[in-house]
Structure 1
Amino acid sequence: MGGAASLALPWAAGPHPVGCADVMVGRTRQGLFFRLFYPCQPREGAERPLWIPRYEYCGGLADFVNRSRRWCAPLLSFAFGACRVPVSWNGPFKPGSTRYPLIIFSHGLGAFRTVYSAVCAELASRGLVVAALEHRDHSASATYFCPAEAGEAAAAAEALREEWIPYRRVPPGQKEFHFRNKQDSIDLTKVAVMGHSFGGITAVLATVKEPRFRCAVALDAWMFPLDNALYPEVSKPVLFINTEKFQTPESVAKMKRLSSRNSQTKIITILGSVHQSQTDFTFLTGKFVNRIFSTRGSLDPYKCLDINSRAALAFLQRHLNLNEEFDQWDHLLEGIGDSVAAEAPLCRSSL
C-alpha cells in the first residue's frame, strides 16, 4: 500500500466501539501512568486523541535512534504530529453482560504508551480492557509525572508542573545485561500481560512476579535480559509471536527452553515482518521516515496486525477461559496459515 492510505492508523475491526483515556496514579516517579483502551458506547462527533500527545516525545524518539534533536524532532513532529488514534477520547464506558478481562501491555525500549494503539484498540474492540503502560524507569523515549506540591497555595501549580524522565542509554563501562535486567519492574495484579521487544520479556517476567497473571503474550521478545537463573521460575504459558527479521539463535534458544518446560507455550513467526511491524510506526511511515526506523517488511501491515491480534486472542481465550469465538484462530498458535510459521527463522539483528 502507499500514499495517504498508509499514513493513518486502522480502525479496530471488532464489534465494540473503542474508547481510551489516560490515567496517572500517584504523584511520584513510583506511580503509574497508562493509556486505557476499553469497549465504549457509540458517540457522535467523538474527539480522537493525538497519537503523539506532546512534542517532548519527538525529542525522546530522536534520542533513542541516536539522531540530532535539532532536525529529527521537528521531522517526527511534522510526520506524526497531526496523526490521531481512531478511538473515542474519554468515551463512555460500555457496561458488559460479564466483566471484561484486563490485559497489561508493556512497551519496548524507546517507546511510550501510544505506540501500540492499533493492537491495543483491536483487543479492546473484541471485549478486553487494555492498559498500555508508560514506564518511568528511563526505558521510555520520554515520560513525565506531576509531583505533588506542599500546601494548599500550590494547588493550582500542581496541575501545571511536570517532571520529565528521559530515555537513558546504558552508561559507559556498564554491561547492558545488568543495566536492562534491573529496569521495568511491574507490580500489577490483573489477569494477563502482553508486551513488545523489551516489554515482551517484561511480560514473561511479570508472570513470575505476579502470580495472578495467568499467561503472557510476547511480541518479538528481546530475550537478552532474562537471567538464566529465572528459567525454573517461569511456569505460566507464553505465546511468542516473532517477526522474521529480528531474532537471534540465542534468543530463540531461550524461548525453546521455556517451551520445552511447558507444552502450552507456543512460538510462531510472522513471515515478511520486521521488528517495528508490531508497532504503529508500520502504518504511519512513508519511505523517507522508514529509512530511519526500518518500520516495514514485505508483509502488508494490516495482515500483520490481523495475525498478531487473532493469535493473541486465541491464546488468551484458551488460558483465561473466555467465552468467545476466538478459538476459530487456534490454527495460528500452531504456525498454520498464510504468512505464519511455527517457531522462528533466525536473523541476527540489533535492538
Structure 2
Amino acid sequence: MGGTQSLALPLGKGPHHVGCTDVMVGQTRQGLFLRLFYPCLPRAGAEWPLWIPRYEYCGGLADFAHRSRHWCAPLLSITIGPCTPRSAQSWHPGASWWRHWSTEAGREEWIPYQRVPQGQKEFYFRNKQVHQRAEECVRALRLFKDISSGKSVPNILHQDFDLSVLKDSVDLTKVAVMGHSFGGVTAVLALVKEPSFRCAVALDAWMFPLENVLYPEVPKPVLFINTEKFQTPESIAKMKRLSSRNSQTKIITILGSVHQSQTDFTFLTGKLNTRIFGARGTLDPYKGLDITSRAALAFLQRHLNLEEEFDRWDNLLEGIGDSVVPEAPFCRSNL
C-alpha cells in the first residue's frame, strides 16, 4: 500500500475481494465516464489503483478547497498521491471535476472545477448541474441493463476488463442510488427520474439545488445520514418534508463528525491537510465509517429485500446508538 500508516485507507470488511475498472461510453455530454467496482477473485500480479491517478486531480482538489494550485496541488500529490484504495466500503467526495475526451479531435481535455459565474444566481447554476448528474445516474443504470442483457458495450478506454463478463450477473431488481454532498441530493433527484431505483442513501446531502416543486414527487424512501457540523436548519427542513410524506424516509446525525468524515479524506489527510480540508471531527473516523456503513446496509436490506443479517443494525435507522441521534440536534426544537 502506498503512503504511511497514518494515511492508510481502511481494509474492506465485506466477504469479497473488490476489483475496479474505468469505463467511458460515448464522447459527448450524453455519454458516461465512471469507475466500476465489482466482486472478484484475487489474482497474482494484480495492482492496487492509485487514489489520485493523475496530477490534474490535485489541481481540481485545490480549486475546490479555495486554495492556491501553486502550493496546494504539489502538497496533495506528495502526501496522498501515492495512496491506494483498498476498500469498497469507503465513500468518495462529491465535488465537480472530471476529465473529458473531445469528440472532434479525439484528444484529452480537462474540465476545471466550475464556480458560479459572476452575476448568476447560485440556485439556477447548481440546479442545472444536479439535473445533469441525476440523468447520468439514470444512463449508468441503463448501461448496466444493456450489459446484463448481453448487448455489446464498447469501452473507449480499452481497459483489460471485458464488460460482457457481467452478462446475467447484475440483479437489476435490487438497485439503489447513493451519494455524498452534491451526490446526496443527486441521489434524491434520481429517484424522481428513474422508477427502477428502489431507494436512496444520501450522505450529508447538500439539499440547496433541488427545486421545491419536486419534493412531493420523490416516490421512494431515502436514508439521510448527516454529519454534525455541515447541515443547516433550512436543509434539515427540506429533508423533513420528505420524511413527512414517507414514513420509511429516515434522518439521522452522527455526532462528532464533519462533512468530510464520510469520505476517504478523513483517512488520507495528515495534520496539515486536515487544516486545509477540515477533514476530521472529534469522532474516531473508523467508528464514523462503521456507523455510516451499518446504517446504510440496514436500510438497503429493508428496501431491497436482501437476504443478509444487516437488520441487526436497524436501531441506527431510528437514531438509536452511540454517537447517533435522530434528525439533527440543533433542529429538533426549531422546526
Q: Paired residue for 1:282?
A: 266
Counterpart among 68, 86, 110 of residue 164 in structure 1: 110
Q: Paired residue for 2:176?
A: 192
Q: 1:49-128, aligned counterparts within 5 Å?
A: 49-86=49-86, 118-119=89-90
The answer to whether 1:144 aligns with 2:107 is no
CA distance in 2, matches of 1:21, 1:6: 27
Superposition RMSD in Å: 2.0
CA distance in 1, matches of 2:274, 2:326: 28
CA distance in 1, matches of 2:30, 2:116: 21
The answer to whether 1:21 aligns with 2:21 is yes
CA distance in 2, matches of 1:74, 1:309: 32
1:245·1:346 contact (CA, 8 Å) conserved in 2?
Answer: no
Segment drifting more, 237-246 vs 34-43: 34-43
Helix, strand or coil at the partner of 2:35: strand
Structure 1 segments of 4+ aligned residues over 4 angstroms from their partners: none
Helix, strand or coil at the partner of 1:75: helix
1:55 Cα offset (Å): 0.4
CA distance in 2, matches of 1:306, 1:21: 26
**Superposed CA offset, 1:11-59 (max 9, x none):** 1011111111111111223311111111111223420000001100111
Q: Paired residue for 1:114?
A: none
Segment drifting more, 49-58 vs 61-70: 61-70
Task: State the aligned residue count.
Answer: 291
Helix, strand or coil at the partner of 1:36: strand
**Superposed CA offset, 1:227-275 (max 9, x none):** 1111111121000000011110111111111101100000011111000
1:323 Cα offset (Å): 1.2
**Superposed CA offset, 1:203-245 (max 9, x none):** 0011001111111000001111121111111121000000011
2:89·2:293 contact (CA, 8 Å) conserved in 1?
Answer: no
CA distance in 2, matches of 1:16, 1:329: 21
Q: 1:143-292, aligned counterparts within 5 Å?
A: 143-148=98-103, 158=106, 161-184=107-130, 185=132, 186-187=134-135, 188=138, 189=141, 191-292=175-276
CA distance in 2, matches of 1:216, 1:41: 29
Helix, strand or coil at the partner of 2:99: strand
Helix, strand or coil at the partner of 2:90: helix
| Counterpart code for 1:164 | W
Segment drifting more, 275-284 vs 11-20: 11-20
Q: Paired residue for 2:31?
A: 31
CA distance in 2, matches of 1:149, 1:246: 42
User: What stretches of structure 1 of length at least 5 have no aligned partner?
Assistant: 88-116, 121-131, 151-157
| Counterpart code for 2:112 | P
Normalised TM-score (structure 1)? 0.79
1:145 Cα offset (Å): 2.1
Segment drifting more, 37-46 vs 245-254: 37-46
1:175 Cα offset (Å): 1.1
Helix, strand or coil at the partner of 2:66: coil
CA distance in 1, matches of 2:42, 2:73: 35
